[in-house]
Structure 1
Amino acid sequence: MANTTNEGFVNLTDENSTLLAQDEFTSNVFVQFTICLFYLTIFILGVFGNALVCYVVVRNHQMHTVTNFFITNLAVSDVLLCILAVPFTPMYTFIGRWIFGNSLCHLVPYAQGVSVYISTLTLTSIAIDRFLVIIYPFHPRMKIETCLAIIIGIWTVALLLTLPYGIYMSLEEPNTYCEEHWPSQRFRMVFSSFTSILQFVVPLFVIAFCYICVSIKLNDRARSKPGTKSSRREEADRERKQRTNRMLIAMVTIFGVCWLPLNIVNIVDDFNDSTNHWPYYRLSFFIVHCLAMSSTCYNPFLYAWLNDNFRKEFKQVLPCFSRMSTDFTPQTTDPYKSEKLYNGNDTVQDSFLPRFMSKTDSTMPSENIPLQTTTTQTFQPSERPLNESTDVEDVLL
């Protein structure tokens, strides 16, 4: 396969299938063992981490929020990717032929393409949602119904755009290769280019744009009211801003680093068939493919584990990880504690408030407006803007 959507396979046509035996790297037992070990690690961590994310959201009704539904959809697509792309890739390549039947020859590449689309489009939706929350704090938050409609739309688009890969896959006999058979080479190249742009280029630019704008907005907000905060408050805000900026950079960087090499290999392979005859092609493919598949392991950590609400649920489900969770808990300065606020969607967010200040203290700065007990009071989206006293990390992470 020579495209991002069905990146799970290496081409095994009649001409280049003999290279499998001649490739001293991928035919070496130690190399095969190492590659399989990498794939096995990705499979276990990816399935376990993402399944855990899905479980904690399903079991707790309070976790049913817009951001968490997007994260759950991302986890579902990553589980699908681990199950369908990770095990079939080394088995098909090392065995040298397709042994899984005609039905799976159509279904597996199709499902792989669907899961990649869902993953990248969901990451884009998460970035856009965070962009709207931070940049337009007075605008009503996205409703749960809208979030579910977007998720259904993502699945529909993914299923439709990837359909040609399910149609044009066929099982070749007698060598039993599962290969693409397009109506024409031009159609294949156009569709390949369209897929790469829509699957990687557009999401990368949108995600980068959203998080850059969010970072700039947070920096401007931190400088907008000089002299209104104590030195301790300024230190806490500065630490939180630096932590948030690092996380935003990590989200963009990991997405680009994981998927860019595979897209480059696929594009070069689509427009230059001679790359299949390069002795190091298979080894290069496995390296970039493992890197892309490893994103399924990073996503639960970036989008769930670093979130306080998810981490608390993980500690309840997996008590043995309680100490590890504590080690990863973001630290703030002592005078501040985290209290929960409810926004217009009844979703929980954190607000760092001084421990030494009374909730009825009239001398409190205007940015730290006293709040009533959150278990009995809710706010309309237009009534509670996102301000400096709000812990924006709960929205971002």
Structure 2
Amino acid sequence: SMDDSLDPFNTTCDLPNDQISIPLPLKLLLVSAYLFVGVTSLIGNFLVLLVVILRRQTRTVTNLFISSVSAADLVITFVSLWATPVAFYERRWIFGEVMCYVVSAIQGASLIWAPFTLAAIAVDRYMLVSSPYKPQMSAKTSLFVIIGIWSGAFLVLTPMLQHVEYFKVGECNSFCIEFWEPTSELRLVYGICVLMIRSGLPLIVISFCHWRIATILASHGRKLMERRNTSEATSASDIKRKQRLQKLLLSMVLIFAVSSFPIDLFNVLQDIQLVYHMSIISDEAKNVLFFLCHWIAMAGCLLNPLVYAWHNDNFRAHIKNLCLSKRSSSFKTIVTNASRIDRTHSRMDLPLNTTTLLDAPDNDDVKL
């Protein structure tokens, strides 16, 4: 029985059938949905990082910040995407003691990395638009900002990590939980404080910066329209480019806000239920709601690189260029090997002009 399996003196491994009840069609749908998000997120965010790492001309301050968001999304995909829903479904922790603390830390920190990085982007763009003739943030400075954001996230999570406990019941059942007794009210207070820090504060900063950016660009646009001088074409083009970039960044902010709000609300309601021993919704509804909210949060990880790719012509060009470079490199290797084999074992000429092919410039040299 279930009681026997939870007996600490029970040394047998008759695991209890304590998994949450989910209809088979819904279970298959969840597995497919999580698999789709995981694979797409890995590919998309990996490509973003690859472009920034391999293409020196893409290492702008904004792109470095965006690559930080992609790195955070990759960490979430590797750690939280599968571990959290599996633990929720199994109602116990099956990944060992080390992973208990690693997942708790990474999952919490990743929820802070993205919004504060987006806030840093907004501040940088605002400074660039409002004070274009002043020294702007350098790539080196942006890296220090990124390191500060990632490190600061763990500092914010210190109280939570101090209350994470891993323990075993019997030989077969392990658990990884936040244990706040006897001061369980602090759990709710801390949760709300973290929510305000990681969501409220960044959204206030982002909203202010983008409002000011939109106001400044609109003002510059009106002045150019009044002048209607052909010599101002460059300035007009620059304003349009900045407006396109602002739309891209606002899209990323909107993705963050929409994807994180459901799971934030779920966590707050769950804390209220635990602290005050209230039953807000049925267990069946809570189970379905958790997976839906968590999946929406994970979907935000794949939407950022997709939005970035479709809003940025240069990014798509760099991806295409990388793919062509790899394909060209592989083709060169094949032709070179074939040429060596032909010179050794055959008098027949290759049908390809290998000299022309091998001497052709790499796609890396093509200016985009």
Q: Normalising to structure 2: TM-score of the pair?
A: 0.73
Q: Who is 1:301 aligned against?
A: 306
- 1:172-191 → structure 2 map (5 Å cutoff): 172-174=167-169, 175-183=173-181, 184-191=183-190
Tell me how far apart the structure 1 counterparts of residues 131 and 258 of structure 2 sit (CA, whole Å): 30
Tell me how far apart the structure 2 counterparts of residues 45 and 147 of structure 1 sit (CA, whole Å): 27
Q: Who is 1:44 aligned against?
A: 39
Q: Who is 2:268 aligned against?
A: 267
Q: Which amino acid aligns with 1:195?
A: V
Is 1:282–2:305 an aligned residue pair? no
- Residue 248 of structure 1 deviates from its aligned partner by 5.1
After superposition, the CA RMSD in angstroms is 2.9
- 1:1-397 → structure 2 map (5 Å cutoff): 21=20, 23=21, 27-174=22-169, 175-183=173-181, 184-225=183-224, 226-229=226-229, 243=244, 246-247=247-248, 249-273=250-274, 274-275=279-280, 277-303=282-308, 306-319=311-324
- Native 8 Å contact 1:169 1:178 kept in 2: yes
* Cα distance, 1:41–1:247 mapped onto 2, change above 3 Å: same
- Native 8 Å contact 2:217 2:243 kept in 1: no
Secondary structure at 1:179 match in 2: strand
* Cα distance, 1:129–1:237 mapped onto 2, change above 3 Å: closer
- Native 8 Å contact 1:43 1:82 kept in 2: yes
Larger mean CA deviation between 171-180 and 237-246 belongs to 237-246
- Native 8 Å contact 1:78 1:296 kept in 2: yes
Secondary structure at 1:182 match in 2: coil
* Cα distance, 1:289–1:28 mapped onto 2, change above 3 Å: same
- Residue 88 of structure 1 deviates from its aligned partner by 1.0
Tell me how far apart the structure 2 counterparts of residues 199 and 266 of structure 1 sit (CA, whole Å): 14
Tell me how far apart the structure 1 counterparts of residues 238 and 72 of structure 2 sit (CA, whole Å): 35
Q: Normalising to structure 1: TM-score of the pair?
A: 0.68
- Native 8 Å contact 2:122 2:209 kept in 1: yes
Q: Which amino acid aligns with 1:285?
A: F
Tell me how far apart the structure 2 counterparts of residues 68 and 244 of structure 1 sit (CA, whole Å): 11
- Native 8 Å contact 2:217 2:239 kept in 1: no
After superposition, give the CA deviation of every residue in 1:277-330 in whole Å (9 maximum; x if it has no partner). 44311111111111111111121133455334322221112349xxxxxxxxxx
* Cα distance, 1:242–1:57 mapped onto 2, change above 3 Å: closer
* Cα distance, 1:316–1:244 mapped onto 2, change above 3 Å: closer
State the identity %: 31
Secondary structure at 1:116 match in 2: helix
- Native 8 Å contact 2:113 2:153 kept in 1: yes
Secondary structure at 2:177 match in 1: strand
Secondary structure at 2:284 match in 1: coil
* Cα distance, 1:86–1:28 mapped onto 2, change above 3 Å: same
Tell me how far apart the structure 1 counterparts of residues 145 and 287 of structure 2 sit (CA, whole Å): 38
- Residue 245 of structure 1 deviates from its aligned partner by 6.2
* Cα distance, 1:244–1:229 mapped onto 2, change above 3 Å: farther
* Cα distance, 1:70–1:246 mapped onto 2, change above 3 Å: closer
Q: Who is 2:330 aligned against?
A: none
Larger Rg: 2
- Native 8 Å contact 2:68 2:146 kept in 1: yes
- Native 8 Å contact 1:19 1:279 kept in 2: no
Q: Which amino acid aligns with 1:191?
A: Y
- Residue 31 of structure 1 deviates from its aligned partner by 0.6
Unaligned runs of 5+ in 1: 1-16, 321-397
- Native 8 Å contact 2:180 2:186 kept in 1: yes
- Residue 28 of structure 1 deviates from its aligned partner by 0.9
- Residue 253 of structure 1 deviates from its aligned partner by 2.4
Tell me how far apart the structure 1 counterparts of residues 186 and 319 of structure 2 sit (CA, whole Å): 47
Tell me how far apart the structure 2 counterparts of residues 278 and 133 of structure 1 sit (CA, whole Å): 50
Secondary structure at 1:142 match in 2: coil
* Cα distance, 1:69–1:239 mapped onto 2, change above 3 Å: closer
* Cα distance, 1:245–1:132 mapped onto 2, change above 3 Å: closer
* Cα distance, 1:313–1:242 mapped onto 2, change above 3 Å: closer
* Cα distance, 1:252–1:159 mapped onto 2, change above 3 Å: closer
- Native 8 Å contact 2:101 2:164 kept in 1: yes
Larger mean CA deviation between 309-318 and 108-117 belongs to 309-318
After superposition, give the CA deviation of every residue in 1:165-185 in whole Å (9 maximum; x if it has no partner). 333222343242221112521
* Cα distance, 1:189–1:66 mapped onto 2, change above 3 Å: same
Secondary structure at 1:294 match in 2: helix
Q: Which amino acid aligns with 2:298?
A: M
Q: Which amino acid aligns with 2:321?
A: Q
Secondary structure at 1:86 match in 2: helix
Q: Who is 1:9 aligned against?
A: none
Unaligned runs of 5+ in 2: 1-15, 326-368
- Residue 119 of structure 1 deviates from its aligned partner by 1.5
- Native 8 Å contact 1:208 1:252 kept in 2: no
Q: Aligned residue pairs: how many?
A: 300
Q: Which amino acid aligns with 1:170?
A: E
Higher helix share: 2
- Native 8 Å contact 1:80 1:115 kept in 2: yes
Q: Which amino acid aligns with 2:71?
A: V
- Residue 241 of structure 1 deviates from its aligned partner by 7.9
